[in-house]
Amino acid sequence: MFDWVEAMQCSKCRQDAIIWQRYSGLHLCREHFVADLEAKAKREIRQKRMIASGDAIAVALSGGKDSSALLHFLTKTFGKRRDVSIFALTVDEGIAGYRNTDAARRIAEECGAPWHCVSFKEIVGTTTDRIVQTRGDALSCTYCGVIRRHCLNAAARSLGATKLAMGMNLDDEAQSVLMNVLRGDAERLVRTTAPVPGVVPRIKPFAAVPEREVALYAILRFGIFREGGCPYAHNALRADVRGLLNDYGYRHPATKYALKNLGEYLPGVCTGKTSELRVCPECGEPCGDTCRSCHLVREARGG
């Protein structure tokens, strides 16, 4: 996963390097690696104006490497500011043996952040396991993803959050753009991110940081993570795209940055169709003509 470097000095000092950045050509020691990653995240926050005075930031914390690294970075960077508050928010999807909420709680405690946990069962009255039992696992990631976003937004808003911080990294951003291309989903490629009433704005400070660097940052802070994959993820298109992109990106190191830049450039030069949002009378969440979350929940229940 990492390009570990042995018997090689840091490009910026004489200390032993712990990683080689293939895209930059730099060998970095622990100190300069951490500084480089945090500089990338701070630059992303500055350029996108993600955080402002008075913000209450809910960090979506699964207990995995990406979200744990993000919570650590945000509490380290903004934890002492009196005008910004940070808390962790975990969603239990109801997948037996997969979601370890205790691990998320421990990470939040280590970072000194208040921790809140909500569940699919609590908010929409079902679980991912139950959905799979009822509908099969062919579209399990679709059901789970839509309902998870619904639960995160509803819980973050009820807790007074003004921003919802997600642990998406550069690989996630590049994969999303490529997935939209492969599906021919032009609407998503040109969709703007204008504020929507009722939707807590999402921020992604690690969007310019490669996945392996986020993982190493988390390991340096918390130690080795023992994560098992979701038992239903084998049908996900993202898994195929991840393998394809990693293989191509190994030979062409700037590919993921190019895809991320493309995803940010297109909405600015294309005019996408905008839709009026309304409040769903069933769940109270913002939606378009129909509420996709409620529709999927009805399907999952056999309605």
What pLDDT score was predicted for residue 247? 95
In a domain, 262, yes or no: yes
As a whole-number percent, the residues of the chain with pLDDT over 70 amount to: 92
Domain count, the chain: 1
Query: Could you report the per-residue pLDDT of 159-193, keeping only the tens digit for each?
Result: 999 999 999 999 999 999 999 999 998 888 887 76
Model confidence pLDDT, tens digit, residues 73-82: 999 999 999 9
Q: What is the CATH number of the domain that holds 138?
A: 3.40.50.620
In the predicted structure, residue 217 carries a pLDDT above the cut 50? yes
pLDDT at 7 over 70: no
Question: Between residues 100 and 51, which one has the greater pLDDT?
Answer: 51
Q: Is residue 173 part of a domain?
A: yes
| pLDDT at residue 193 in the model | 67
Q: Roughly what angle, to the nearest 10 degrees, separates helices 237-251 and 255-269? A: 120
Distance CA 213, CA 292 (A): 35
Mean pLDDT, range 275-303, rounded to an integer: 72
For residue 291, name the pLDDT band (cuts at 50, 70, 90).
confident
User: How far is 214 from 212, CA to CA, in rounded Å?
Assistant: 5
**Would you say residue 211 lies in a domain?**
yes
> Is the confidence at residue 272, as pLDDT, over 70?
no
More confident residue, 288 or 72: 72
Report if pTM > 0.85.
yes
pLDDT at 148 over 50: yes
Question: Does residue 159 belong to any structural domain of this protein?
Answer: yes
**Contact of 69 with 41, CB cutoff 8 Å:** no
Sorted by sequence, the CB contacts under 8 Å of residue 224 that are 6+ apart come out as: none
Q: Tell me, what's the pLDDT at 60?
A: 98
In a domain, 27, yes or no: no
Q: What is the mean pLDDT of residues 127-134?
A: 87
pLDDT, one tens digit per residue, over 88-120 is 999 999 998 888 899 999 999 999 999 999 999
Mean of per-residue pLDDT scores for the chain: 89
Q: Which domain holds residue 246?
A: 51-300
The whole-number pLDDT of residue 299 equals 77
Distance, CA of 169 to chain centre: 7
Does 130 map to a domain? Answer: yes
Predicted confidence (pLDDT) at residue 241 exceeds the cutoff of 80: yes
**Domain-embedded: residue 150:** yes
Q: Which residues lie below 8 Å from residue 150, measured CB to CB, with a gap of 6+?
A: 123, 124, 283, 285, 293
Residue 266 pLDDT > 50, yes or no?
A: yes
Of the candidate ranges 152-156, 178-182, 207-211, 233-237, the one whose mean pLDDT is the lowest: 233-237
Measured distance CA(293)–CA(290) in Å, rounded: 9
234, part of any domain: yes
Residue 271 has what pLDDT? 66
**Structure confidence at residue 5 (pLDDT):** 47
